Amino acid sequence: MTDVRQKIQQMIDQNQVVLFMKGTREMPQCGFSSRVAGVLNYMNVPYLDVNVLADDEIRQGIKDFSDWPTIPQLYVKGEFVGGCDIVTEMTLSGELDQLLEKEGVSYDKDAADKIREANA
């Protein structure tokens, strides 16, 4: 296993939720990263944000690691969930709530419901 793969695996193993994104949770650098970080922030999900723009090895490494060509990428309890479109669909359908509950990750259920109400 390469150093970058080990680094990525360690981040995923040591945190319940990890978002590999362009920018940071406070300052996303692309619309797709902004959308996913916005959902997690609004729902008060505790997560590690990894700015792939700060490290070219991580930027390419995460794509190779997941065999997924785009960023952002969300991981919950070590499992790859998906990118922006998948996370958006899961949020609106309630599947993200179910996943977080199943994995014992804290989040604000009322905030999740408000997202769905606003997009109904």
pTM summary value: 0.95
Q: Is residue 6 within a helix (H) or strand (E), and if so which, with residue range?
A: helix 3-14
* Cβ neighbours of residue 77 closer than 8 Å, sequence gap 6 or more: 16, 17, 103, 105
pLDDT tens sequence across 84-106? 999 999 999 999 999 999 999 99
pLDDT tens sequence across 25-62? 999 999 999 999 999 999 999 999 999 999 999 999 99
Q: Specify burial of residue 87 (Cβ count, 10 A radius: 0-12, 13-18, 19+).
A: buried
Second-level CATH architecture of 3-118:
3-Layer(aba) Sandwich (3.40)
Domain ranges of the chain: 3-118
